[in-house]
Structure 1
Amino acid sequence: MRVRVLGVGMGPHHITPEVADALRSCDYVLAAEKREDDGLLSVRRAIAAEHGLEVVAVPDPERDRADPVDYAKAVKDWHEARVAAYERVLRERGGTAAFLVWGDPSLYDSTIRVVDRLAERMPLEYDVLPGISAPQLLAARHRIVLHPVGRPVHITTGRRLREELTAGQTNLCVMLTGTLDLAGLDDWSIWWGANLGTDSEELVAGRVADVLPSIEAARERAKTAAGWVMDVYLLRARETQP
């Protein structure tokens, strides 16, 4: 058996020629189904249909998302449940399966970890092909460089934002944001985007105190239009600009 982990950006228009070629070698697409009206699954179906592939939807195991005390264990248990669910399908169907990963598989996605565990439990080989990531799209839409001259960019999650600020980070790309917590950062600059690369894309940029209401309104518009919202932003302290 073979598994191909394929980065697909935010949909059919982001499929690279390399990924399109890989899809032609696959027999079906494996995808998690998180709910009946899963909009992201619908986009995966559209990608698969363009390449003549069936989507095998696997109900996604429940996960504790209420900020558990042991977050790492909650995620590990969720991954193990996913491994078991995918293993059943792979053993039954065999062949070559594709996982279509939003953005790029290397950034805040569990698919590689899950497939690596599958390879420990059953005879399969796998490869990974890159996709267009959310930070790349954000930078392109706002026509910016993610870091000041000669300085780094720190990529993190909304869950860890306060911890990173306390540690002294001044140029952060924040993913998996949940709720926006920008209190005390009025004079920082922000470049924000939601549902990048889709019809419900929203963009806002400026001084945090000036644009925060606009961001909150845009976030609601994106969620209303698509039924879901994925946002990412670059946050930069005044002293580190440009």
Structure 2
Amino acid sequence: MRQLLVIGIGAGDPDYVTIQAVKALNRVDVFFVLDKGEAKQDLVALREEILRRHVERDHRVVSARDPERDVSAGPYAEAVEDWRRRRADVCERMILDELPDGGTGAFLVWGDPSLYDSTLGIVEDIAARGNVELDYEVVPGISSVSALAARHRTVLNRVGGGVQVTTGRRMSAGFPADVDDVAVMLDVRPMTRLPAEGVDVYWGAYVGTPDEILLAGPLEKVAPRIDAAREEARARKGWIMDTYLLRRRS
């Protein structure tokens, strides 16, 4: 039996790693990494820094190239499912080749494994195939949504209200009905497309890292600044990770 740990390592700051996660990190024999290419070497460096700070036992790091997702393929759900299947193929091969029976391996997940991340689905797929006998555990982490609220010194929901966590793709259809507070992830589209009347925004990119950018205020005024900051950051670094909270004014 092989053991897998799916460990949430927080939104970017190595200090976001919880005590529970540190304990889990120090049970691991082999860390598995899907390499996303040269443009995202900053993410590899952050993982290496987390391991350097928090892991005190001998271990190995095994990496493989992350399959590309065809963003032009459709429909969207089928394209994502195909991409996840190909990722599962790669991860299964790493586990079979690099993790001996009785060993403990781990996937490190940015933020929290339960929130818009495919790792758990991949592990479930591998387990269901039956080619490798394994058990797995999940260690929660500080999500980018939680980190964003903390950095802006605000809460996600107001008294008696709820908050919806959604994607930029869904926000393109408009502000959700009967919701006053919306946390948005995975948005690559211009902020100026969003309905802005009576809405405030709390936005952050690379939250918890030295490159962190924070902007907040009335959406109609701040949206152009956010779009400009996104483009500058993407041109400078080659990638961007950002999250924002939209709040209807009372």
Q: Tell whether the structures are fold-level matches, with TM greater than 0.5.
A: yes
CA distance in 1, matches of 2:95, 2:192: 44
1:152 maps onto 2:158 in alignment: no
Runs of 4+ residues deviating >6 angstroms: none
Structure-2 residue corresponding to 1:192? 203
User: Which segment drifts farther, 208-217 or 85-94?
Assistant: 208-217
RMSD: 1.8
- The equivalent position to 1:54 in structure 2, one of 32, 57, 60, is 60
- 1:221, distance to aligned residue in structure 2 (A): 4.5
- The equivalent position to 1:31 in structure 2, one of 10, 21, 33, is 33
CA distance in 2, matches of 1:40, 1:225: 15
Q: Which one-letter code corresponds to 2:244 in the other structure?
A: Y
- The equivalent position to 1:19 in structure 2, one of 18, 21, 46, is 21
CA distance in 1, matches of 2:248, 2:138: 35
User: Which segment drifts farther, 175-184 or 98-107?
Assistant: 175-184
- 1:119, distance to aligned residue in structure 2 (A): 1.3
Quick check: 1:29–1:99 contact (8 Å CA) kept in 2? Answer: yes
Q: Which one-letter code corresponds to 2:65 in the other structure?
A: P
The SS at the match of 2:160 is coil
1:235 maps onto 2:240 in alignment: no
How many pairs were matched up? Answer: 238
- 1:166, distance to aligned residue in structure 2 (A): 5.7
User: Which segment drifts farther, 40-49 or 190-199?
Assistant: 40-49
Q: What is the correspondence of 1:51-200 to structure 2 with a 5 Å cutoff?
A: 51=55, 52-66=58-72, 68-94=73-99, 95-121=103-129, 122-163=132-173, 165=175, 167-183=177-193, 184-200=195-211
The SS at the match of 1:165 is coil
TM-score (norm 2): 0.88
CA distance in 1, matches of 2:145, 2:39: 27
Q: Which one-letter code corresponds to 1:59 in the other structure?
A: R
What are the Cα deviations for residues 169-228 of structure 1, in whole angstroms up to 9, with x where unaligned? 432110011123443314311111111000010111110111122212332444355442
Quick check: 1:200–1:226 contact (8 Å CA) kept in 2? Answer: no
CA distance in 1, matches of 2:237, 2:141: 22
What are the Cα deviations for residues 27-58 of structure 1, in whole angstroms up to 9, with x where unaligned? 12101111134221222222233325332111
The SS at the match of 2:173 is helix
1:207 maps onto 2:212 in alignment: no
TM-score (norm 1): 0.91
Structure-1 residue corresponding to 2:43? 40
Quick check: 1:153–1:173 contact (8 Å CA) kept in 2? Answer: yes
Q: Which one-letter code corresponds to 1:176 in the other structure?
A: L
User: Which segment drifts farther, 207-216 or 164-173?
Assistant: 164-173
Quick check: 2:191–2:227 contact (8 Å CA) kept in 1? Answer: no
Unaligned stretches of 5+ residues in structure 1:
none
